Amino acid sequence: MMMTNKTDLINVLTLKEALEEAEKKGYAIGSFSPRYTPMIRPVLRAGEKTKSPLIVQISQKELERYGITPFEFAEEFYRAVEEESITVPVVLHLDHTKQISVLEDAIEAGFTSVMIDASEHELAENISISKKVVDYAHAKGVSVEAELGKIGTTDFVETDKDEELYTDPAEALQFVNETGCDALAVSCGTAHGVYLVRQPKVDLERLKAIRKLTPVHLVLHGGSGVPAEMIIAATKLPNGGVSKVNIATDLEISLLKSLGKEERMTNEECKSLSNEQLEMAQKAVEATVIEKIQHFLGSSNQAENFQG
């Protein structure tokens, strides 16, 4: 069931390769979740138009919620990269995932990066589970993101619980050293979903403390709805800051708004939209991604000098 061989596409990179370059240059790469396979293309087009590296991702819960398999998502990603003649550096990433079988399927399908989320477990168990995934994925040439601390949520599409526990810098050092993960999702004040009551914040001092102890690439989840100045500050920390920012909800909001809808669709329902509706939705998603790249992440034109 293997899709297009990613080794044939030199611009499809691992997460580690992409984030090394972003951190070196002091910007963040957007990790955009289209949620529906027809929205992969506008995400890629936005990266190409802005000459920005980017990450296309989907989580285990999104795969389940929207009715997609890792193989279907990867197949459409590689097809779009080729048919749209995408030249900017891109990563295909599996976001929050708890089941090893889903991670294995994603790697077989051609994902170049996966995230194991064992953050609900105590530190020792989180380390044990995450290390097993790192060992498996690295043997296949795939990067691994892990999570330490608990990142809250408001819509339960990506994660199960609205529990928040800030990442402890000392535990981050131990976790990274013992797991060998390539990137670490940290809890520092943001949340998945739409901010309705509580307001987003980014604990820059906590990020500085984590960075002081470990050089692991830092990931900020819950980027939708966070003010641009907070994200920019998080990417510009003296010793290197956040280099990956996850954005999902804002894309779906723009898609649904363009169609005059309030309720989420399944992937099949999205695929069955009329050509006119699909074009409207894709234009809305593309515009949102371009806006995030230009005014939120600082990654415009970074693909031109990319050394990854």
Q: Residue 48 to residues 131, 256, 287: CA-CA distances in angstroms? A: 35, 24, 13
CA distance 41 to 23: 26
Non-local (6+) Cβ contacts of 152 within 8 A are 162, 163, 164, 187, 191, 192, 222
User: What's the first-to-final CA gap in the chain, in angstroms?
Assistant: 28
Known catalytic residue at 203: no
| Interaxial angle between packed helices 70-83 and 100-109, expressed in degrees from 0 to 180 and rounded to the nearest 10 | 30
Which strand (E) or helix (H) includes residue 164? none
- 3-class DSSP state of 250: helix
Catalytic residue positions, numbered: 95
